Structure 1
């Protein structure tokens, strides 16, 4: 072996040793992504959807009508409905999947079985827009609502609560948007009156 090749081999070994030493000091690279349950990217936690659902008025009434828990969130679709929607609860390993409580055949008024149940609704026939409910607080009744526009940007999804008359969160100008709301009733509107978002 020539002196040049020996020097090259020694340099290579030195470089490998240096890399190994740095790896032991620095450690593995850490992901900089926000945890999925706090992020609108958390689709992988909502991949198991409920089978075709039917009305269950007695259970709906217990959660949403007179005498019900004022913090248990209930939903009403003021535009659109759940007839062709995909409702996918957050699945906890070794726990039974959450249930959907629907008032009647119009599929507009509903609640989840437990107030803390996180879930995602996707509307494939309404442009693919989606609604995400997460991070319910038992003490305040507040929760995070995330809305996402779909592939067909002419469809718009917006949500309002019982506090005031305005649109609290809206996909009109956004690919996705998130807000914390605290009222018992959440009103969902899905309509084909959007236009391309700018943000």
Structure 2
């Protein structure tokens, strides 16, 4: 046997021993009945960037219920929710966890919400006029085209903006309430 073939044979034996060692260790750590679940699970990098949004019921009621703040923009989800979202300022920096739904006296802060667990769809609110309550809303379809996002205003139940036919759609709304719908088609 030549020196090169001896090295190759030793390397092969070492590799086989390493594989057997790892299989015995990993096999003991993961029970056989759940082994397929561990490897079949979808791991998503999106989970690292989720924003924890705290509930502020009193602040929400002060701004959105009654006639006290008739031009303050308010949003509600009719389908979908704010669990496991990536929420961040859109144009200007501010603390999104404190100001997203319950705004401070600078009610012109733009923001974007991405829903990674609901198809990766986007909701963007920008160009908010504090005098009239008018704002630009942009919706964007996500990576998973089975999901769509649409909104309706408080005037009717029509889909005022919808990502069904367009990947991105924008409109200006001057109603207090915007209803957000996120659903899987089909």
Provide the TM-score with structure 2 as the length reference.
0.67
Aligned residues: 137
Q: Give the alignment partner of residue 125 of structure 1, picking from 117, 126, 148.
A: 117
> Who is 1:158 aligned against?
150
Call closer, same or farther: CA 1:154–1:112 in 2, change over 3 Å.
Answer: farther
Q: Which ranges in structure 1 are unaligned for 5 or more consecutive residues?
A: 1-48, 103-109, 195-199
* Alpha-carbon distance in structure 2 between the residues aligned to 1:142 and 1:50: 28
* Alpha-carbon distance in structure 2 between the residues aligned to 1:66 and 1:144: 23
Aligned-residue RMSD, C-alpha: 2.2
Contact 1:56–1:101 at 8 Å: present in 2 too?
no
Contact 2:51–2:84 at 8 Å: present in 1 too?
no
In the TM superposition, what is the alpha-carbon distance from 1:71 to its structure 2 partner? 0.6
> Who is 2:80 aligned against?
80
Deviations 1:44-80 (A, max 9, x none): xxxxx88412211111111111243111001100000
Q: Give the alignment partner of residue 133 of structure 2, picking from 116, 132, 141.
A: 141
> Who is 1:53 aligned against?
53
* Alpha-carbon distance in structure 1 between the residues aligned to 2:119 and 2:149: 10
> Who is 2:9 aligned against?
none
> Who is 1:97 aligned against?
95
> Who is 1:179 aligned against?
171
Call closer, same or farther: CA 1:88–1:61 in 2, change over 3 Å.
Answer: same
SS in structure 1 at match of 2:58 = helix
Call closer, same or farther: CA 1:71–1:50 in 2, change over 3 Å.
Answer: farther
Which protein has the bigger helix share?
2
Call closer, same or farther: CA 1:165–1:133 in 2, change over 3 Å.
Answer: same
Q: Which ranges in structure 2 are unaligned for 5 or more consecutive residues?
A: 1-48
Call closer, same or farther: CA 1:100–1:159 in 2, change over 3 Å.
Answer: farther
4+ residue runs of structure 1 moved beyond 4 angstroms? 98-102
